[in-house]
Amino acid sequence: MQTPSNKALVPFVSVDNMMKLIHRIGIDTMLIGLADYIEQDFLRWPSFDKTPRVASHSAEGVIELMPTSDGATYGFKYVNGHPKNTRGGLQTVTAFGLLADVATGYPVLLTEMTILTALRTAAMSALAAKYLAPKNATTMAMIGNGAQSEFQCLAFRAIVGIRTVRLYDIDPAATAKVRRNLAGSGLNVIACASAQEAVTGADIITTCTADKANATILGDNMVGAGAHINAIGGDCPGKTELHADILHRATIFVEYPEQTRIEGEIQQLSPDHPVTELWQVFNGTARGRQNADQVTVFDSVGFAVEDFSALRYVRDHLGETGAFVEIDLLADPDDPRDLFGMLGRAAPAISAA
């Protein structure tokens, strides 16, 4: 297999090569691997630079940068969220990301992250559910059947052991799309006529809607004792999915409170409302699910460390998959002080072309 060769050339994973990488590794193997990398990085949480993502909001959506570093490697993701894009045949979310060597500042990986983000979001959801969902959970309600849905269902199957998914979306065509894409996956897929019907008998409820609004996708009377809610749709100020009464009776788990209080479901609550950070659950200093009747909520907005983990995973699997090309991203003059001379020496070749 091809391996990165020249430090002046940067490995680049295009959308096409990301799909090759996923198929060569296997989607279940990759989801499990991503969850493992995320858990490893959360276990060394104090070593990371942490800041809420840098967001530029508009009436149409949001553009964000999500940076972090562990002191040896720096990573960031550029990502947008534009719910209206689907009306014009565009993706609601697109992304790309980069890893760099802290010692030199040189990039070591540039990659698409639209597909990769869907995988890492699903892996993060299922990883949290390993600690928070009811024991032996087998059924999940998937409310909101957009681009994330199939990834979520497959991750919960591979990592948690879900066998049945109950689907609901206000657009029946979206639900039909998920049923079609999950055919042959081994999951029992049931289309439902309402959110209420979808949550009936579900051990886990995943909410993943796109509208930028303070919506009530789940009412308090829809959530029974012992349920785990994987709330991944609320991810910016003014966008929520759960009735506040659910939050008041649930134990809430978050990635990074300073970001989640701005963007997550808990923006509906007082700034001092207690939450538990997942990294502390992973390392055993805080408790996850404590009893069978407890209602747990993973208020997931996505955090830069998860993207860092996903970028590390891709970097570590480039050699075995060969799913990349090297691009001429960095100027590399013979004399590092003579950048202008490199430009001048290129003139004859450019003129001849």
**CA–CA dist 195, 202 (Å, integer):** 11
- What is the four-CA torsion angle of 203, 208, 209, 214, rounded to 10 degrees? 80
Which pair of tokens denotes residue 111? 């990659």
Per-residue DSSP letters for 208-263? -----SEEEEE-GGG--TT-EEEE-S--BTTBEEE-HHHHHHSEEEES-HHHHHHH
SS3 content of the chain, % helix, strand, coil (to 5): 40, 25, 35
Q: Is 70 a catalytic residue?
A: no
Backbone torsions φ then ψ of 55, nearest 5 degrees: -115, 140
Annotated active-site residue in 41, 169, 203, 235: 235
Q: Which of 7, 8, 9 is nearest to 325 (CA)?
A: 9
Alpha helices (runs of H) in the chain, residue ranges in sequence order: 15-25, 27-42, 114-132, 149-155, 172-181, 195-199, 244-249, 257-263, 278-282, 304-316, 318-321, 339-352
**Looking at the annotation, which residues are catalytic?**
235
